[in-house]
A = this chain, B = another copy of it.
């Protein structure tokens, strides 16, 4: 049995991702101890009941004391205040990381608050479900999914490697890229799809000609695939769009250009354009299945 990678992992936030990290870390004996912080008393109590953390603190400073790995796992809008709050007690050699879905803003918000000698290695596990809160976590969430590390220029390579080892211990595949590129890639693979899903569910919600009960009854026609991702945590997604606005707006512009072409093809009954467009998109689905990144039940059908 290899020695644990970290002595004490402090989770600031114990929702879907933080909770799943606790499950995966304890399962793999990758850390000696997990402690946590949450603002709400109910969440703290639940994290203890579920065994996610050995101790839960209402003040983040108490959670990070003596931790050699600190994970920011709240919505990204709360990171700056957390970093400021914990900075005074951070010891050199501590690794600070996060799990946020945007990285450029995180590097700007968190980095400047951390004292010299502390290694900041931002991370983004590209995995999730539409469920949130401490009960949503499970040990297998990261298996065979990519986690992207975006160390700022000059980060200690040993810290990056140690964090990569932790994620590989969770079953994840690990990639390293620059924060702005991460934000562009995720704008198209995650942020734009969520925005569009939220939007279409909103549209369906306030039609006069079609009732909500009809939308629900016939959701199996395609709509339900959108409602799943449109059920994700609203505060987390608010923060993503507030902090990655530029990349999302750029992708939205491209999306709109393409949609104009399809709209015009429908208006002028241009079947050839429609069929060509619909045929090209099949290949990318095939690629996702072949790469093992489809939904679990589909990967099995392969």
Within the assembled complex, what's the spacing in Å between the Cα atoms of A238 and B207? 25
Number of interface residues of A (CB under 8 A): 97
Within the assembled complex, what's the spacing in Å between the Cα atoms of A228 and B263? 21
CB neighbours (8 Å) of A184 from chain B are 209-210
Within the assembled complex, what's the spacing in Å between the Cα atoms of A288 and B201? 12
CB neighbours (8 Å) of A155 from chain B are none
Q: A190, B221: Cβ atoms under 8 Å? A: yes
- Is A128 in the interface zone, CB < 8 Å from B? yes
Q: B193, A226: Cβ atoms under 8 Å? A: yes
Copies assembled: 2
Q: Which A-B residue pairs are the 9 nearest by beta carbons?
A: A190-B221, A234-B278, A231-B285, A193-B222, A201-B281, A238-B275, A227-B285, A189-B223, A230-B281
Q: Which of B193, B252, B275, B281 contacts A231 (CB 8 A)?
A: B281
Within the assembled complex, what's the spacing in Å between the Cα atoms of A241 and B230? 25
When C-beta atoms are compared, the residue in chain B nearest to A288 turns out to be B219
Q: A227, B288: Cβ atoms under 8 Å? A: yes
Query: A228-261 toward B: CB 8 Å interface, digit per residue (1/0)?
Result: 1111101101110110010011011011001100
Q: A241, B274: Cβ atoms under 8 Å? A: yes
Q: Taking A197-B222, A293-B224, A294-B224 as contacts, is the C-beta distance between A210 and B231 under 8 angstroms?
A: no
* Cβ of A291 to closest chain B Cβ, rounded Å: 5
- Is A28 in the interface zone, CB < 8 Å from B? no
- Is A51 in the interface zone, CB < 8 Å from B? no
Q: Taking A225-B225, A227-B285, A228-B225 as contacts, is the C-beta distance between A278 and B216 under 8 angstroms?
A: no
